[in-house]
Amino acid sequence: MSQEINPEETEGMLPEYDFTHGVRGKHHEAYQAGTNVVFLEPDLARVFKDSDSVNLPASVRYVKTGRRGGWWRASKDNGQIHLGWNTVPGDLLLKPDFPKIKQMLKAQGGAAQDFNALRALLDCPSKHVWMTFEDGYMWWCTVRDGATVNPKGESSEEGHFWLFCDRRWSNKSLKGTLLAVADLPGTVTRVAGFRGTVCEPKDWPTVLRIIYDQKDPDATKAAEAREYYKKAVLRTVKRLPPKDFELLIDLILARTGWVRISTLGGKREGSDIEAENLTADEIAFIQVKSSATQKVLNEYVELFKERSDFYSRMIFVVHSPDGDLTPPVDLPTVQLWTGDRVAELVVRLGLGEWVEKRIA
């Protein structure tokens, strides 16, 4: 075919529309490849900053796989979601007629909740991430559109119909973190109390955030603030006079289950603090120093070994070590608390204000 421009085709065209240097088919391949535009809802946009970071459906649905999870094993093992509604004929599930399904459920005494659940399962279920709770974990998957009717009929092990998974059930995040129920926020786990079959979790953006291993923005800011505070506490701890530092360690021990059995200044030879943990039935040999070298640590370790018949563990505390200190690897009962560890304990045990007042 000739690539020359037909003069008749240019009649009536404005001068600025000049295609004499155009290249035929320049964007053909890109057009053939298509586009994948994802529009983020406001709640999701607060977690995922752009569409490129979203590879899963931007919607979540909670589903129960049978009464008391009776169909969970079949769902998990076969990569499916097993479901009920055995009063709905198979042909209506394969080619959903929603007005007819709604009328049928109503005649059977079914609630609107049943119809809404069935609609979510039959009307493009691929647009949701599906989640449930089983075996102490949160599980999630994605599915393909289209139901499959059980040819054997509903049983205690299998549902009336099922959806096939696209991404199979997983109890791990995309980066491999186990999604134990005990580690999940209550805003996520409370959906397990839902009495129906399908619902949209109220805090579904958090479900997606957890699956993507993304931190909550407010929680991230809080962690950054805590880390900044811990560094400030460390600087303050290093300014404490020796007696105040020793008293601080005494308070930390008391709040972690240790009871002092020797008074400050009236201690056993070589021990600054002697403390007992009644629950663990242990007595600790505790040394508190503002500064110390590896040699000093080694000397106290030898003293601890000599009294191992009396002491169960040794805690060596120093906020400003002279060089790197290393406890003996063959003695796990020897603990080394440097300034970072002390500052962390101060923050976690709520002793920051006490430390502040000591230098105010």
User: CB within 8 A of 12, min separation 6: which ones?
Assistant: none
Contact yes or no for 343/231 (Cβ under 8 A): yes
Tell me which residue of 174, 154, 166, 153 sits closest to 125, measured CA to CA: 166
Q: 167-179: per-residue pLDDT in tens?
A: 999 999 999 999 9
| Lowest mean per-residue pLDDT among 29-33, 238-242, 259-263 | 29-33
Q: CA-to-CA distance for 315 and 313, rounded, in angstroms? A: 7
Tell me the backbone φ, ψ of residue 198, rounded to 5 degrees: -135, 140
Average pLDDT of the segment spanning 256-272: 68
Q: Which of 51-60, 175-184, 234-243 has the lowest mean pLDDT?
A: 51-60
Among 120-124, 216-220, 256-260, which stretch is predicted with the lowest mean pLDDT?
Answer: 216-220
Length of the chain: 360
Residue 238, CA atoms < 13 Å, CB-side half-sphere: 14
Inside any domain, residue 67? yes
pLDDT reading at 264 higher than 60 = no
The pLDDT confidence band at residue 35, using thresholds 50, 70 and 90, is: very low
Please give the single-letter amino acid code of residue 336. L
11 falls in which pLDDT band (50, 70, 90)? Answer: very low
Position 135 scores a pLDDT of 95
Q: How far apart are CA 167 and CA 144, in angstroms?
A: 9
Does residue 33 belong to any structural domain of this protein?
no
Q: What is the mean pLDDT of residues 63-72?
A: 94
> pLDDT at position 299, please?
94
Q: How many domains does the chain have?
A: 2
Residue 314 domain-assigned? Answer: yes
Asked if 135 and 229 sit in the same domain, the reply is: no
CA 314 – CA 302 distance, rounded (Å): 11
Element spanning 206, H or E: helix 204-211
For 157-200, the DSSP string reads SS-SEEEEEEEEEESB-TT--B-BGGGS-HHHHGGGG--SSEE-
Q: What is the CATH number of the domain that holds 307?
A: 3.40.1350.10
Question: Within this chain, do residues 190 and 231 fall inside the same structural domain, yes or no?
Answer: no
| Same domain membership, residue 131 and residue 68 | yes
| Single-letter residue type at 338 | T
For 107-133, the pLDDT digits (tens) are 888 778 889 999 999 999 999 999 999
Residues spanned by the domain of 140: 56-211
**Average pLDDT rounded to a whole number, residues 316-330:** 95
Rg (CA), the chain: 33
Q: Provide the mean pLDDT of the chain.
A: 86
Q: Are residues 225 and 201 in the same domain?
A: no
Rounded to whole angstroms, the maximal C-alpha distance in the chain is 111
